[in-house]
Structure 1
Amino acid sequence: MKKLITAAAFIALTALAACKNKTALDSNGVPETLTIGVVQSEGVEGIKQVREQMRDYLSKKLNMPVELVYSNDYTGVIEALRANKAHIADIQPFAYVIATRTMKLNPLVTLGNNGKPVTYKSVIISNAHGNIKTMDDVKAHSKNLVLGFVEPASTSGHLIPRAYLNSIGLNPDTAFKQTIFAGNHLTSVLSVKSGKTDIGCTTNLIFMLMTKAKMINDDDIRILWTSDPIVSDPIVAKAELNKDLQKRIQQAYLDMNKERPEILKAYVKIFIKDTTRRSYMVSNDTLYNGLRKIAGGIKSLKAN
């Protein structure tokens, strides 16, 4: 029995070492396999297939193995970066801001439109068949309402609507009957539709894909408030990753629209109807300073 245990332990250690070696950086900061952290996005039709096509494109372009590391939420993606399980990541703006509190990340690219970053918006919603029809109704009845955010690291589903609610005198931690985190954008919308939450927070991009997937009807959800535009998600790299490799990864994304436009078009089409003129563009840290300022101004915000 002791020999069996020893053998089993040796096999486990060998497997662990192999796993570590595959993603570990060598003395030049280059991994054997490049890993990309992404959110599962369960229920989003076609996204896994497109991501797999992107992975294959990057692998061929970079001439090295590339793997996707899936997490249930953006907090999990941050942890994957922190634990060196992911070298680069497709991450929401606020998740990037949170992550850079404890580690150095380099934004490589973001989606652009005619040389300007693509933007999206945060929305606060209610059930279209209910009695909450305006934000004045929310203010009047907040003590009887259940508020649903998406997850702590979500930009449109947490940071931006939290800041707005605070600005109109509704502290999400005290002003409502209950405040919950739904887990993802789909669940946040479905919780409002089902009545689990009275009001919810999400992105305006979610409705088209949920309607297309027949998860909601056009008349199920009422939009109570819409934010100013938010700069789209950056694709970021850990600072320790080889600088030349980072430049090659960046260039691979920039070249995608010329070399494999059908992949980029399929990805964009999942979220928006107009896929023309969309392509990756160089990103930089200053694009997210506005979010840092918002996050820094919310004393009750705890998203580490």
Structure 2
Amino acid sequence: MLADDSEFEFSDPNWAENNYLSSALIDAGYERGQRADLERMGSREVDEVPHGDPVREAPSDESEYLDPDTLVFTESPSEDVEGRYEEDFEAVFDRIREETGKEVEYSRVDSYAASVEAMRSERAHIANFSTGATAFAVNLAGAVPFAVGLASDGAFGYRLFATTRAEAHDIQSVDDFARENVTIAHAEESSNSGHQAPSALFDQKFDVTPGEDYEVNFSGGHSNTARGIAAGDYDAGPICSTCLKDTVEGDSSLDFDDFKVVWASNPFPNGPITYRYNLHPDIVEGIKAAWLDSDFSGTDYAARTDYTEFLPIEYRRHWYDIVTIQGYNDVQYEQGALSE
């Protein structure tokens, strides 16, 4: 079933009959969705959030407004771009300072749970959450998602790649994940493409239920899953497409031809920019302007992420698929359900 790279068609990969080396997908830009996908998500008729709570409204009592001298920004491990550093954000932080008159402090955390707890406890005021952890942040920490990045070529988001080694000729479909002696890795429990989405979509589309038809081995992250597959520690697993790209490009011992993709999902939105619901309205206005009214072309931030602009989103519309998947999996929005 392994097709030549030249046979890949972006609009119709025909996964029922084809596998592809990841090089074919990356060369075609298939690791991301397109602006049209984002617009389609935003135009959906959604009256209410299908699972969990909607975003919190700003307090009606002005005494409850949060007005810190320094705004703290945090981000967690992401299905967006991994391994970012404080200096990568300077262009963004400069714009926040201009719009709010506040200093900005960068606080990096190393887990989904820590990022949500930072905003819940008001130790973080602005955050870039991962896609899967966003619903936890909304329900537990009062996060208000308002923007996602768009790349210079109009691409956005990421896909779930069901991935194995190129030479794994006996693994040609997600169906084969359920075979005996096949070791499958998932990233982390709250990760969208690394666990939540495959738990729902593999069941719906292939009648393969993770945790029942195969043992789930949590690797601790997408890059760990990719490296584990390459090293033979795992035979296959679901990997965030952009994380696979970042991992291979950042590791000289890996090559895109080392990996074979046997199925890919439709695009998901990348992790959003959020603010805490009770920030003073003047600060919120400045934060939104800093992200939504800026062109980051030519900055270190754009060079690192390829995000030159940010577009507005609505949680109930753009996160509808994510929250529906989590509802299907009976996810409870509790701190203990987040990976430490």
Q: For the residues of structure 2 that align with 1:232 and 1:67, how far apart are their CA atoms?
A: 23
Match of 2:240 in 1: 203
Q: For the residues of structure 1 that align with 2:105 and 2:111, how far apart are their CA atoms?
A: 18
Q: Which amino acid aligns with 1:289?
A: Y
Runs of 4+ deviating beyond 4 Å: 43-48
The question of whether the paired residues in 2 share the 8 Å contact of 1:73 and 1:183 is answered with: no
Q: Could you tell me how far 1:123 is from its partner in structure 2? A: 1.0
CA deviations 1:65-88 (Å, max 9, x no partner) are 211221112232112212222111
Does 2:320 match 1:289?
yes
Q: For the residues of structure 2 that align with 1:102 and 1:109, how far apart are their CA atoms?
A: 19
Q: Could you tell me how far 1:210 is from its partner in structure 2? A: 2.7
Structure 2 alignment gaps of length 5 or more: 1-62
Superposition RMSD on alpha carbons, in Å? 2.9
Asked which structure has the greater RCO (Cα within 8 Å, sep 6+), the reply is: 2
SS in 2 for 1:107: strand
SS in 2 for 1:94: coil
Q: 1:123 aligns with which of 148, 161, 185?
A: 161
Q: Which is greater in Rg?
A: 1
Q: 1:94 aligns with which of 132, 145, 149?
A: 132
Number of equivalences? 269
Q: 2:249 aligns with which of 208, 212, 227?
A: 212
Q: For the residues of structure 2 that align with 1:299 and 1:126, how far apart are their CA atoms?
A: 28
Q: For the residues of structure 2 that align with 1:206 and 1:248, how far apart are their CA atoms?
A: 31
Q: Structure 1 237/140 Cα, relative in aligned 2: closer, same or farther at 3 Å?
A: closer
Does 2:199 match 1:162?
yes
Q: Could you tell me how far 1:300 is from its partner in structure 2? A: 7.1
Q: For the residues of structure 2 that align with 1:239 and 1:300, how far apart are their CA atoms?
A: 23
Q: Which amino acid aligns with 2:313?
A: S
The question of whether the paired residues in 2 share the 8 Å contact of 1:117 and 1:281 is answered with: no
Match of 1:188 in 2: 225
Q: Structure 1 48/212 Cα, relative in aligned 2: closer, same or farther at 3 Å?
A: farther
Identity of aligned residues (%): 21
Match of 2:102 in 1: 64
The question of whether the paired residues in 2 share the 8 Å contact of 1:40 and 1:70 is answered with: no
* TM-score, structure 1 normalization: 0.77
Q: Could you tell me how far 1:131 is from its partner in structure 2? A: 3.8
Q: Structure 1 75/215 Cα, relative in aligned 2: closer, same or farther at 3 Å?
A: farther
Q: Could you tell me how far 1:301 is from its partner in structure 2? A: 7.5
Match of 1:150 in 2: 187
Match of 1:54 in 2: 92
The question of whether the paired residues in 2 share the 8 Å contact of 1:122 and 1:202 is answered with: yes
Match of 2:47 in 1: none
Q: Could you tell me how far 1:222 is from its partner in structure 2? A: 0.9
SS in 1 for 2:171: coil
Q: 1:232 aligns with which of 247, 251, 270?
A: 270
Structure 1 alignment gaps of length 5 or more: 1-25, 270-274
Q: For the residues of structure 2 that align with 1:65 and 1:139, how far apart are their CA atoms?
A: 50
SS in 2 for 1:257: coil
Q: For the residues of structure 2 that align with 1:92 and 1:140, how far apart are their CA atoms?
A: 28
Q: Structure 1 88/46 Cα, relative in aligned 2: closer, same or farther at 3 Å?
A: closer
Q: Which amino acid aligns with 1:296?
A: G
Q: Structure 1 76/131 Cα, relative in aligned 2: closer, same or farther at 3 Å?
A: farther
Q: For the residues of structure 1 that align with 2:227 and 2:143, how far apart are their CA atoms?
A: 34
SS in 2 for 1:249: helix
SS in 1 for 2:73: strand
Q: For the residues of structure 2 that align with 1:265 and 1:29, how far apart are their CA atoms?
A: 30
SS in 1 for 2:294: helix
CA deviations 1:183-229 (Å, max 9, x no partner) are 22211111111111111221111233333322511211111210011
SS in 2 for 1:89: strand
Match of 1:242 in 2: 280
The question of whether the paired residues in 1 share the 8 Å contact of 2:117 and 2:141 is answered with: no
Q: Which amino acid aligns with 1:174?
A: E
Q: Which amino acid aligns with 1:298?
A: N
Q: Could you tell me how far 1:28 is from its partner in structure 2? A: 3.8
